[in-house]
A = this chain, B = another copy of it.
Amino acid sequence: MKVLGIDPGTHNVGYGVLEKNNGAIRSLEYGVVRSIAKMDLSFRLGEIYRKLDTIIGQIKPDIISIEKVFFGVNVKSAISLGEGRGIVLLLADLHDIEIHEFSPTQIKKAVKGNGRAQKYQIQKMMQSLLKLKDMPRSEDAADALASAYCFLNSSKFQQLIKQT
């Protein structure tokens, strides 16, 4: 089962693909989709949509996993976050892929055992958990891998495996 984790945004969008076979989780690919900062929001969202659409078409994930935030951000950031999320949620529907959402606390606990882990710790933990040669340089990519990792260690994954 291939899980695509996405860390949504209106400038940079992290993504990471994990696969679980016989209990072992391995990373297939991760990176960041970037839009041109000086362009306006509508164009940036269009760019992100086109790039993510291509990536999803190539990877063909079974599941998309993203973070669900409800507090700790101001209204302006929350609207931006929503705009980025909207594109990801739309693409999940257009590609007919099941989408699962986890709170920041659930994700941090899954990868670190600490709900208050810092960004840098997530990068270190993902390198360690996935036995990556190098630490993911991008926080966004590390966060995306963490979302995917959280799904693969969740009861939702267990339920899905039982069903199939």
Which B residues lie within 8 Å of A73 (CB)?
Answer: 75
B76 in contact with A79 (CB, 8 Å): no
B93 in contact with A45 (CB, 8 Å): yes
Which B residues lie within 8 Å of A40 (CB)?
Answer: 99
Within 8 A of B (CB), among A78-100: 78-87, 89-90, 92-94, 99
B93 in contact with A89 (CB, 8 Å): no
Q: Is A43 an interface residue (CB 8 A)?
A: yes
Report which of B46, B70, B86, B94 forms a contact with A76, defined as CB distance below 8 A.
B70
Query: Is the interface on chain A under 10, 10 to 19, 20 to 34, or 35 or more residues?
Result: 20 to 34
Distance (Å) between the CB of A13 and the closest chain B CB? 12
Complex interface bits, A59-81 against B, C-beta within 8 A gives 1, otherwise 0: 00000000001110111101111
A residues in contact (CB < 8 Å) with B: 40-43, 45-46, 49, 69-71, 73-76, 78-87, 89-90, 92-94, 99
Which B residues lie within 8 Å of A94 (CB)?
Answer: 46, 49
A83 in contact with B78 (CB, 8 Å): no
Q: What are 11 inter-chain pairs, A to B, with CB distance below 8 A?
A: A42-B99, A45-B86, A46-B90, A46-B94, A74-B75, A75-B78, A78-B78, A83-B83, A83-B86, A86-B86, A86-B90
Q: A93-B43, A93-B46 given as contacts; is B86 within 8 A of A75 (CB)?
A: no
B82 in contact with A85 (CB, 8 Å): yes
Bound: A86/B44 CA distance, A: 11
Given contacts A46-B90, A86-B86, 10 further A-B contacts (CB under 8 A): A41-B89, A42-B90, A45-B93, A69-B75, A70-B75, A75-B78, A79-B79, A83-B89, A86-B87, A86-B90
